[in-house]
Amino acid sequence: MVISDVKVRLMSNKDSRLKAFCSITLDQEFVVRDIKIIEGSDGYFVAMPSRKMSDHCEKCGGKNHLRAKFCNNCGTNLQENRTRKKVRGKIKLHADIAHPIQTDCRIRIQNKVIEAFHKELEKSKEPGYRPIEIDESEDEIPEIIS
């Protein structure tokens, strides 16, 4: 598997630990979007795309995220212990949508993404910088008139 392209969209809130979203293209054929670049205590790391876990209200069947105290649909008070625990006893609130199976694959992805993030940070310091939209290719971006 070759990571053939990485696109980085920097976040404007400098105080947030979430520094950027990115997409990667694998073998020029498959795209994974909504990968997050997060600043941790040991430096930057990559978080794979995920979704909030949810369940359904026992009364009306409405869908609710696991931290909800009341049903979004009917307002019924929801039970507190509706979550499954992970191996270490933590509550599982998110499920990965896409993720590497093997550690060496995760490391390759993380290295490529962080490298592209640093390049985009440098570009952002240039006058006239305009962040790209993850969904558009670079040749679709209109030129900025200075």
Residue in the structure block whose two tokens are 């990965």: 96
Residue type, 28: Q
Amino acid at 3: I
- The segment(s) of the chain belonging to CATH 3.30.1120.40 are 3-49+97-140
Provide the CATH topology of domain 3-49+97-140. Answer: Arylsulfatase, C-terminal domain (3.30.1120)
Q: What is the percent of the chain where pLDDT is above 90?
A: 58
Interval 42-68 mean pLDDT: 90
For residue 21, what are its two tokens? 């979203």
Tell me which of 2-6, 79-83, 100-104 is least confident.
79-83
Q: What phi and psi values does residue 114 have, to the nearest 5 degrees?
A: -65, -40
pLDDT score for 80? 79
The per-residue pLDDT for 88 is 67
**pLDDT tens digits for 112-137?**
999 999 999 999 999 988 887 776 54
Tell me, what's the pLDDT at 32?
A: 94
- Looking at the whole model, is its pTM more than 0.75? no
